[in-house]
Amino acid sequence: MTEPLLIERDDAVVTLTLNRPEAMNALDVPLKVALRDTLAMLETDRSCRAVVLAGAGRAFCAGQDLREHVETLHSGRPDPLGTVRSHYNPIAARLGNLPKPVVAAVRGMAAGAGASLAFLSDFRVGGPGTSFLMAFAKVGLAADTGASWSLPRLVGHAKAVELLMLAESVPAPEANRLGLLTKLVDNDEDVLPAAQELAARLAAGPTVAYGAIKRQLSVGDAGTLSEALAAEAQAQSICGATEDHRTATDAFVNKQRAAFVGR
């Protein structure tokens, strides 16, 4: 049986590949469970210092597997959208709060929950064939997988309303202009290598500080100044006690290049 999620390790970089290319990596239950549980495992895996999220074949991820969803709708279950609480919410929480950098290699289409996964990543690399589609309204649904939180932070409230309600495809140049992409490469074949190169750079950095920066921003984006200052004080207490801070400070004073170990 083909594994729905491929896990590849290259030093401190872990690449997670959604592996249903025949279905444009649509999210069925086995894939959602594998992604949810793998992200939970990576939270505490100290050997992993950066994550790449990719899709096999010609698409990043087409979102929810609608064939599976139709069966659920006709099954008579009392909560046919229970997958949101069981799968999508835990995936979004673990991906968005992962205490290490996440780079999405968005080759081809990212639609619905697939786009949401990309938006929760810290960096997004795309190519000429990359496109985003907030497809929820096309099937009479509101957003999920954290899109109502992540999308306004990327493009602003008004643009998020437009993308979610009109549900029109956003091609690569427009996605790059809007800030949905961190980097746009010239060739689709270069999307994954470019994402892995960026992840390797991040994996060689101060991992604890990166995690603290992510937590700071989650507070600062929506909180008060007082809450942001409290989060900053807490983060600096944590980071100040790390080996990376001590050795990097010594390296700076001695005009040497810092070598971070991630702790």
Q: Are strands 50-55 and 13-18 parallel, antiparallel or unpaired?
A: parallel
Q: Provide the pLDDT for residue 70.
A: 76
> What is the rounded CA–CA span in Å between residue 95 and residue 38?
10
Instruction: Give which of 45, 190, 236, 201 is closest to 123, Cα–Cα.
Output: 201
pTM (2 d.p.): 0.94
**Would you state the pLDDT for residue 72?**
75
For residue 178 the two structure tokens come to 């809007």
Residues 33, 39: Cα–Cα separation, whole Å: 10
- Distance between alpha carbon 222 and the CA centroid of its chain, in Å? 19
d(CA 177, CA 158): 16
Count Cβ atoms within 10 A of the Cβ of residue 252 and give its class: 0-12 exposed, 13-18 middle, 19 or more buried: exposed
Provide CB contacts within 8 A for 54, sequence distance 6+: 15, 16, 17, 18, 60, 104, 105, 107, 192, 195
In order along its 263 residues, the chain shows pLDDT tens digits of 689 999 999 999 999 999 999 999 999 999 999 999 999 999 999 999 999 999 999 999 999 988 877 777 777 777 777 899 999 999 999 999 999 999 999 999 999 999 999 999 999 999 999 999 999 999 999 999 999 999 999 999 999 999 999 999 999 999 999 999 999 999 999 999 999 999 999 999 999 999 999 999 999 888 899 999 999 999 999 999 999 999 999 888 988 888 899 89
24: left (phi over 0), alpha (psi -120 to 50) or beta: left
Instruction: Give residue 23's pLDDT.
Output: 96
Burial label, 256 (beta-carbon count in 10 A; 0-12, 13-18, 19+): exposed
Cβ-contact 196, 180 below 8 angstroms: no
